[in-house]
Structure formats: structure tokens, C-alpha cells
Structure 1
Amino acid sequence: MRKLKLQMQLSVDGYVAGPNGEMDWMRWDWGDDIKNYVKDFTAPVDTLLLGRKLAEGFIPHWAGLMQDPATADHFTKKMVDTHKVVFSKTLKESAWENTDLATGDLVEEVNKLKAMDGGDIVTYGGAGFTSALIKAGLIDEYHLFINPAAIGDGMPIFKQLEGKLSLKLIKSQAFEIGIVVLFYVPAS
């Protein structure tokens, strides 16, 4: 069975965005150390899962970067070329290339994707979509990129939990930029 991995940027105080979606606290001036980590992390990935709200900015952002030779690097190509599945209750058809819509029950749709042949699956969110995946117990690996900033208030991804989620730390790694990656799997 394929693994569903979460790669998510968080503030030190556990938010993925500010109260109005602000992400100006995230560090993006990455060095080769963290770029290589992400390159290795995404190498076995052949499917991206996205919530509709994130997809509306995510997919055009990467497609735009691919148009500029200065930003069309290996990772940009990976984000553009990788098959995407966008979860939506409102869209009737995909406006994006290489992208399918999933409109049915979240658990059924994700389990169907995980049972298919192929590489790993990664999700980048958004906050509501990620919260629903976590609540349903669908995440196999948590790769949390903790940024060196506290923002005081914002959008959490663990607030829908109805009980405790126990995690087992597999690896932690600090990067020159100040980001620490915590790699967890569910403990049970």
C-alpha cells in the first residue's frame, strides 16, 4: 500500500498560516541542505493531494515558475509534472493539466488512491483539508517543517482531533536557515 505523507510548514506555536492566511513568517531562502532534503523526500512521490483552496494558488504558482528559466529548477519541474488530485465539493471539472478531481467521501477516495499501484503520495494542505486527513487517521508520515517564528494566532491543523494523536519520532534534522524538520509516524 502506498504511503500518504504530509509535508507542512508550521510556526513554532503550531500554525500553518496566520488568521487571514498570512504566510509571511515562513522562511523560503533555503540553502542546499534543506533543498536536498526535500528533493530526497519527494523522489518517490508520484501523486500530490491538495484541497481546493490550496490548489487554486499552488498549481498556478508552480506552473508560472516553470515558465521562467531562472526558476524552472528540478523541484519546480517535480511540482508541475507530478499527478495531482484535488479534493473539492464545489468544482465540477479540473481547470488544471495533469490534475484529477476527487469529489466523493474523503476516506474512501484516499484509501482508493493508497491501494493503487504507484509511488508515495504527498499532501501539502491547506489547513482545513489537512485537518480532515489527520482527523480521519489517513496520514502515514508527518514531515513538519518548524519555522523559527511564533505568530500568536492562526490556522492550526490539529484542532479537529477528537482525542489524543500519539506520534513516534523517526528523525529530526535542523537546517542552516533555522528550520527544523520533525519526521513522525502514528504511534499505534
Structure 2
Amino acid sequence: MSRLKLQMQITTDGFDSTGPNDDLAWDEIRDYSRDLFDSADTIVIGRKTATDFIPYWDSAAAQPGGSWYEVAKRIAAARKVVFSRTLDKPEWNNTSIESGDIVEAIERLKATNKNDIIVYGGVSFVASLVENKLIDEFHLFVNPIAAGKGKSIFSGLADSQQFKLIGATPYKSGLVLLNYELK
């Protein structure tokens, strides 16, 4: 059975990170992101994020020599499943639309996919996955800033969830990778 893996940047106080280190840290975490994606062949993503995410990586995949070119080629070539209740048909290559029940759809993907599945965001979509305990591995890059407000992937939890720490890696920028599994 495939595993669903989340890669996301968050702030030290748990909000979606849109801080000043976000752009600086990307080159530091490129190799980790590439290696994490090695085990996956499918990306699941919410519609709101897909509208920027997919075109960005398609464009980066068309620019040999860019620092993220190799990762971009893999993301552009990967199967993408966009969860949306408003899109009828895919707007992008290698993309399908899933409009059904999120739990049933993710469980079906996990059962039928050969490789792992990765999710990159957005916050509302990921919060639904977290709430339904569908994420098997969390790869959280904690940005060394406190936002004090914003959106959190954990804000909709009815009950607490326990995680098992798999690893922690500090980076020069101050970013810290926290890798957890759902207990």
C-alpha cells in the first residue's frame, strides 16, 4: 500500500509559512525535496494551490540550467490529482480531477498506486487530510519565524493526534526539518 507524504513549510507557531526565509531556504532543501519525491509518482493537491503550483513547475521544467530543473522535470511528468468541487476537467497535462469523498479517494489512491503519493498543499486541503488521519508521513520545514496569525493545517482537529519523530535536520538558514509519522 502506498503512503501519503506531506512536504510543507510552516512557521514556528504552526501557521502556513509565507515568511522572508521561504525563498532563501528553497535551495537548501532542494536535495531533500528531490530525494523525498524519489519514492513517489503521484501528487495530490487542492484546486486553489494547483492553479499556481502546476504552471510554475511546468515552466521551471522547460528551463534547463535552473537550480530546480531536475525536480521540476519530475513534478511536471508526475501524475497529479487535483481535488476540486468546481473543476470539471483538468486544465493541465498529466492531471485528473477528483471531486468525490476525500477519504474514499485517498484510500483508493493508496490501495492502487504502485509508489508513494506526495502532497504539497494548500492549507485547507491539507487540513482535511490531517483531520481524517490520511497523511502517513509529515515532512515539515519549520521556518524560524512566528506569524502570530494565519492558517494552520492543524486548526480543524476535533481531537489531538500523536506523531512519532523519525528525524530532525537543522539547516544554515535556521529552517528545521521535522519528519514525523502518524502514530
TM-score, L = length of structure 1: 0.91
Tell me how far apart the structure 2 counterparts of residues 31 and 54 of structure 1 sit (CA, whole Å). 18
Tell me how far apart the structure 2 counterparts of residues 13 and 67 of structure 1 sit (CA, whole Å). 36
Which residues of structure 1 form unaligned runs of 5+? 18-22
Residues 31 and 140 (structure 1), Cα distance of their counterparts in 2 relative to 1, 3 Å cut = closer
Counterpart contact for 2:25–2:175, Cα < 8 Å:
no
Counterpart contact for 1:9–1:26, Cα < 8 Å:
no
Q: 2:47 aligns with which of 52, 57, 79?
A: 52
* 1:102 to 2:132 alignment: no
Counterpart contact for 2:19–2:145, Cα < 8 Å:
no
Tell me which residue corresponds to 1:176. Answer: 172
Once the two structures are superposed, residues 61-116 of structure 1 have per-residue CA deviations (whole angstroms, 9 ceiling, x without a partner) of 11122232342611111111111000000100000000011011000000000001
Tell me which residue corresponds to 2:32. Answer: 37
Counterpart contact for 1:31–1:177, Cα < 8 Å:
no
Tell me which residue corresponds to 1:133. Answer: 129
Tell me how far apart the structure 2 counterparts of residues 120 and 31 of structure 1 sit (CA, whole Å). 23
Matches within 5 A, 1:11-26: 11-17=11-17, 23-26=18-21
Give the secondary structure class of the aligned counterpart of 2:22.
coil
Matches within 5 A, 1:51-90: 51-71=46-66, 73-90=69-86
More helix by share: 2
Tell me how far apart the structure 2 counterparts of residues 111 and 40 of structure 1 sit (CA, whole Å). 24
Give the secondary structure class of the aligned counterpart of 2:139.
strand
* Range with bigger deviation, 174-183 or 26-35: 26-35
Measure how far apart 1:14 and its partner are: 0.7
Tell me which residue corresponds to 1:160. Answer: 156
Tell me how far apart the structure 2 counterparts of residues 130 and 32 of structure 1 sit (CA, whole Å). 24
Measure how far apart 1:151 and its partner are: 1.5
Tell me how far apart the structure 2 counterparts of residues 122 and 159 of structure 1 sit (CA, whole Å). 21
Tell me how far apart the structure 2 counterparts of residues 41 and 174 of structure 1 sit (CA, whole Å). 17
Tell me which residue corresponds to 2:145. Answer: 149
Q: Which amino acid aligns with 1:14?
A: G
Which residues of structure 2 form unaligned runs of 5+? none
